[in-house]
Structure 1
Amino acid sequence: MKLVLPNSDGATAPYNLKHTESNAAPEANFSFNRVAYAAAHVVTDPSCNYEPWSGAPAIDWDRTLAFRSYLYGLGFKVAEAMDTAQRGMGVGWQTAAELIRRSIAHARTVPGADLACGAGTDHLDDRRRHGLSDVINAYREQFEVVESAGGRVIMMASRALCAAARSPEDYLNVYDAVISESRNKVVLHWLGEAFDASLARYWGSSDIHAAMATVLEVIRLHPGKIEGIKISLLNAEYERELRAQLPEGVRMYTGDDFNYGDLIAGDSTGISHALLGIFDPIAPVAARALADLARNDIDAYHRTMAPTVALSRELFRAPTQYYKAGVVFLAWLNGHQDHFSMAGGMESARSVLHYAEVFRKADACGVLIRPELAVQRMAAFLSVHAGIGQ
């Protein structure tokens, strides 16, 4: 199979697929020795009448939940209503709350399914400055939605808190007030400014080591209430350093979409579990790699997982917050949905050249699970968006 793809020099050239065998029905019920959360995207319904920039897109609930069933079937847990689901970038809190309720109810119908859900403060108006009490109450409101539905919380980083806080103590006070009232263990979420510039100086300092000291204090103040922490700083050394200081029983969840392969494998300083947006598009390949790791076949793990890193680095390249576009693009190429349309029109956030490179790198690591369909859809995309015929 082949098609014509654009190159960075403005020319086009034939491209021959490296993986031409269908992998549409991979093995199921993989067994892992790492906790692996896949942060999942949402499928919009472009046939409905809605305002794309309103924060309240029409959701195709059947396709959205079917994709979660697909992830569960491969052995993943789901991280629901996170930034991969376009929280704060096309999906507002009211839609996210419905997603959370539906996903928790859906998980009860799937044997072995497990999920945790993002709770933050994104229903507060970013155009206004809010007090710390407003932030606390906003967290409480979203925690209540998750916990009253029977779910566990991932405590998302807060833009409002970052704007309101004047010291590390402000973070300690807010997190203490909210976590003390939580019904279940909480996963903390440290999202770096590469993903959201509004979160610069989170934990009250631009010095990473000072910020680490603050988050470690939050964890130590709440023994038994913290399941783990996801760190998304795209810096492996920072993650290893924080990982080594975590109290016993508190997991490090890598959110490093550049270095996850080595961090999950671990080293003399320990191992990382995973809570990753990249697991959404690479799910079947990552599942096989994690199964190899569980069998202690480290070489097989690296042979399978390492090629996906080049794809991930392309998807998450700066501006990193637009990585969701490539995630949904691959979901469309792989037949998980019938269109490439996103909340907020985010499909327009990346260039045709980017999508062409995503296609190449997805093929290289075996992520195109239905190659013939992927070629057909890529050809149609190039015809419409770049005038490139085949």
Structure 2
Amino acid sequence: MFKKDFPYFNNSKTVYLDNAATTQKPQCVIDSQIEYYEKYCSNTHRSNFGHANKATINFEKTRTLLKEFINASKNEEIIFTKGVTESINFIANSYAKNFKTVIISSLEHHSNIVPWHMQKRTLGNGLEVVRCNNNLDFDFEHFEQILKNNPKSFVSVTHISNAFGKIYDIKKITELAHKYDAVVMVDGAQSLAHLKVDMQDLDVDFFAISAHKTFGPTGVGAIYVKEKYLKEIEPYQTGGATIDEVTFNTSTLLDSPYKFEAGTQNIAGIIGFGKALEYLNIIGYENIQIVENDVYRYLDEELRKIPKIIFYNDINDSIGSRSFNFEGLVHDDIGILLDKMNIALRVGHHCAQPIMKQLNVKGTIRVSIAFYNDYNDVSELITALRKALQMLDA
């Protein structure tokens, strides 16, 4: 019933099931960006004429909306970035590089693995990885043992696995980490599309946010930084918009968040992100979760009726993504055939090669849903899958 709000579905016959990669955008998000470019396109935080003031006000409105949306304490704790990848790299290079040990989980996206390698960290040499069991559950016993051996570490974990939809208990992870004086950053790329998050309740130190996976524009994101760390962190980059005073001998920086937001930001994108947040507030997470959980369970039930299907986790403590394979078949072949039948999903390693290697597969077929998906989408997927399997003589 929500598809009417999203122009993509009026202009395409494709069954869109690749929401973990990016979500579709409601009309209000698109309209807000067009309005900025057509009616008051100006830079922010610089000029003081009317349109520039309007741009700045709408830009900063998104910061306030996001602060309230995730229940941060202050606007200063919200720093805009290009997305979760930049957010993680920012904190990795401006703060976490000073920690002897970084702890991640087995289900991390490459964006939360490669930055640590760039610091010359390797397994057992500055980098530790928490095990998962056969259901991809987070191994808390192993985590605590790592913390005991490496107190005052930097913990960086995903909230929801993009590859499998597994939800980690971030509150429990944070409580245990803080017990050993560790600092916690969360990759929340998949979070806001599915769940209400509360920084006061979770008590995390850093939380990375994606706009384009939350029904907003691409090229926009944010990092929540708990206030106590704002003065400890060095800017990732500097230049225009970050400074208070400059001479040829020295520079003084503004306070947060501006000292961390060098150069002209993606103004239209950030304004659009604000509209996405407003839209989600109108829909309400209670309604989102009722619809999405229903479709997610229906998807699982229908997939299980297909012979020779292989899953890697159950759907308890999971949301959004469902990954699977078929015995004796290559996932790429399935993806090619489904595309011919107007089914959009992702096949491959989903930027999570380490866990794929642990599972002894090259990749999976991933269906990832959002609250605008419905039973008809699932039915068309199942019909297409059965046709593809017949073509491949499965």
Rg larger in structure: 2
Q: If the length of structure 2 is used for normalisation, what is the TM-score?
A: 0.28
Q: If the length of structure 1 is used for normalisation, what is the TM-score?
A: 0.28
Greater RCO between the two (CA within 8 Å, min separation 6)?
A: 2
